[in-house]
Amino acid sequence: MSTDFDHIVIGAGISGLGAAHFSARRGLSTLVLEASDRVGGCINSQVFPALGGFWTEAGGHTCFNSYGHMLSILDDLGLTSQVHPKVKVGYKLWKAGKRRSILSALHLFEGARSIPKLFKEPKDGRSVRDYYGAVLGRRNYRDLLQHAFQAVICQPADDYPAEALFRRKPRRKEVIKAFTFAEGIATIPNAIAAQNTLDVRTGQRIEQVESEGEGFRVRLQDGTAIRAAHLTLAVPPDVAAKLLPAGFEDARALVAGIGMAEIETLVLVLRQDDLELPPIAGLIAVEDAFYSAVSRDFLPDAQYRGFAFHFRPGVLDADAQVRRACESLSIAPERIAAQARVHNRLPALRKGHFALVERLDAALAGKRLALTGNWFLGVSMEDALTRSHSEHVRLFGDRA
């Protein structure tokens, strides 16, 4: 079969860019097609040019030295030496209209009594509520952990698979434990996409994917058809279900059962002099309209402070969201220096998810089509890249 590329990747989030990077590094002609006008997906460093280029994260917020696949990519790009440490600041609870300490919701005696179960209780196949309620105490889960986990995954946490949170990974001790970049985490996807060994095209709307012999034909809405010997879908599960071509019915049926959580993110920038709130990592909301607020105080700026509020969808209108965010920061809305809105989507995984992934992998075995994303192992950047790497090995073999 005559092909235009060895490998086409649909989706330019970190999963798709990672898949493309791995294949381009071994000399395969690789094309990335992205529907939006930017790369990065859930990695979104919102920049405000009118404020001297000040930025704050609207999606992924932190990288760690346990992110092995990400660090290997940073090594390839010469970025490892450019990481910036994050200033240590703590979270506060936002409960009943007041900021409170984390310790105020912690039941220490119950936690001490439950902790030995951490070394005994199995985690596989259990929900977050079931597992963490058992190992750290039901009251601790009800009053603190439930809300902390919801702040991480920006959706109800009770039925989320416990295995998908806090996966242990080896650390590279010569790298800062928690880091970012001078211009935000978007530095990473932007650098991957800028490589001259990759062809990355944004604003590309896919009409249909067709099987063609052992390879694939991707039809765009403008009528263009592009052929590839191998294909990776690095898109949300609902999009993957629509794009999977004929011959992948079993995979489509499995993917279609994975839900998505919608998040309405409000980014606020405030002047340092206008905000009396001491530096914080963010707010964990307890039974409120937003799941969490994450600040940019980990990388202080002389003039501005930034906050990303991740709201539950449809609870408050735009003006009410601004008022609630300002209330939590103890500042009047008219003092806002700049704001932006971002629509985020994350997978709504449920207990039993990893058994579903096993069935999905069996349906893909022997095929030249890969599926990757933040809906396999977990929502972290490293979880997404771990899946991309394992799918790369399945398609192209392991290369020492």
Given pLDDT bands bounded at 50, 70 and 90, which one contains residue 2?
low
Quick one: tokens of 49? 């040019």
Nearest one of 145, 140, 189 to 166, comparing CA atoms = 145
Nearest one of 52, 71, 75 to 63, comparing CA atoms = 71
* Mean pLDDT of all residues in 267-274: 97
Please work out, in degrees rounded to the nearest 5, the angle formed at the alpha carbon of residue 375 by the alpha carbons of 369 and 378: 130
In the chain, % of residues over pLDDT 90: 87
The two beta strands, 215-220 and 206-212, are antiparallel
Give the pLDDT confidence of 126-165 residue by residue, as tens digits.
999 999 999 899 999 999 999 999 999 999 999 999 988 8
Residues making up the chain, counted from first to last: 400
Nearest one of 202, 227, 225, 199 to 214, comparing CA atoms = 227
Nearest one of 207, 120, 217, 129 to 165, comparing CA atoms = 129
Whether pLDDT at 167 is above 80 = no
In which residue are the tokens 């999009």 written?
239
Task: Note the pLDDT of residue 113.
Answer: 84
pTM score:
0.94
| Distance (Å, whole) CA 13 – CA 90 | 29
| Distance (Å, whole) CA 206 – CA 209 | 8
In the chain, % of residues over pLDDT 70: 99
DSSP letter string, 327-380: HHHT--GGGEEEEEEEEEEEEE--TTHHHHHHHHHHHHTT-SEEE-STTSS-SS
Give the pLDDT confidence of 181-223 residue by residue, as tens digits.
999 999 999 999 999 999 999 999 999 999 998 899 999 999 9
Lowest mean pLDDT among 166-180, 266-280, 307-321, 380-394: 166-180
Residues near 400 by beta carbon (within 8 Å), at least 6 away in sequence = none
Per the CB < 8 A criterion, the answer to whether 73 and 385 are in contact is yes
Give the pLDDT confidence of 44-97 residue by residue, as tens digits.
999 999 999 999 999 888 899 999 999 999 999 999 999 999 999 999 999 999
Chain centroid to CA 281: how far?
18
Residues pairing with 85 in the sheet: 179
| Distance (Å, whole) CA 207 – CA 161 | 34
Domains of the chain: 5-42+186-258+349-396 (3.50.50.60), 102-164 (no CATH)
Task: Note the pLDDT of residue 222.
Answer: 92
**Element housing 251 (H / E):** helix 249-255
The two beta strands, 225-233 and 63-64, are unpaired
* Mean pLDDT of all residues in 226-252: 96
Whether pLDDT at 400 is above 80 = no
Between the CA of residue 46 and those of 59, 84, 296, what are the distances in Å? 9, 18, 11
Nearest one of 366, 275, 73, 135 to 145, comparing CA atoms = 135
Quick one: tokens of 106? 């912690």
Main-chain dihedrals φ then ψ at residue 36, nearest 5 degrees: -80, 180
DSSP letter string, 105-119: G--HHHHHHHGGGGG
| Distance (Å, whole) CA 131 – CA 136 | 9
Give the pLDDT confidence of 310-367 residue by residue, as tens digits.
999 999 999 999 999 999 999 999 999 999 999 999 999 998 899 999 999 999 999 9
* Mean pLDDT of all residues in 99-123: 86
Coil, strand or helix at 152: helix
